[in-house]
Amino acid sequence: MSSKDQPHITPGGALLAERIAGVVVREGSNIVTRNGHTTELYSSPWELPVESVRHVIHVSLKPAAVSAWHLHESQTDQIVVVDGMIKLVLHDTRGDSGTEGQTDVFHLSPMRPTLVVIPPGVWHGVQNMLAASFSSFVNLFDRPYEHDDPDEWRLPERNDQIPYDFAAG
């Protein structure tokens, strides 16, 4: 039996979705130049809910690789894909959140550059959607990495707390 699609984008091109509380999505643009293209990844005038960028990393994922699950108690992540295609999955287990139990899934690519702001306390994982090549993203943090006491909490990809299966989803 077939089913009718629900609207997922406005006539102006904005994505429609009920997002996890505190998650911000900032779409950028690719600017075609005479010798290639330029993509703006971050700019302080965008009025994002972070006061500063204190640490930046570039992550490459092997073909079809999954890196899940991660959570920070204090740190805010700001992720933008710079190569390939990545699925970013967020899950809210915060008891004081109006979106507790909600899972958001983003399919990200430099074709439509998008910065996703992930607040503290939200579990997140990434998957390279390409089977034959690497994909990569840049993550901008609002605090420096603390080597002596990392603000990093982890769960295995398959667990009892997060009802999402990267293999099926």
DSSP 28-82: --EEEETTEEEE----GGG--S-S---EEEEEEE-TT-EEEEEE-SSPPEEEEEE
Domain count, the chain: 1
**Residue with token string 């330029």:** 38
Mean pLDDT, each 10-residue run in order, the chain (169 residues): 84 82 92 92 86 94 97 97 98 96 96 96 98 97 95 96 92
Segments forming the whole domain that contains residue 70: 24-42+61-144
| Position 161 in a domain | no
| Position 19 in a domain | no
Question: What CATH number has the domain bearing residue 92?
Answer: 2.60.120.10
CB 92 within 8 A of CB 101: yes
| Position 1 in a domain | no
What pTM value is reported for the model? 0.91
| Position 166 in a domain | no
| Position 151 in a domain | no
| Position 12 in a domain | no
| Position 50 in a domain | no
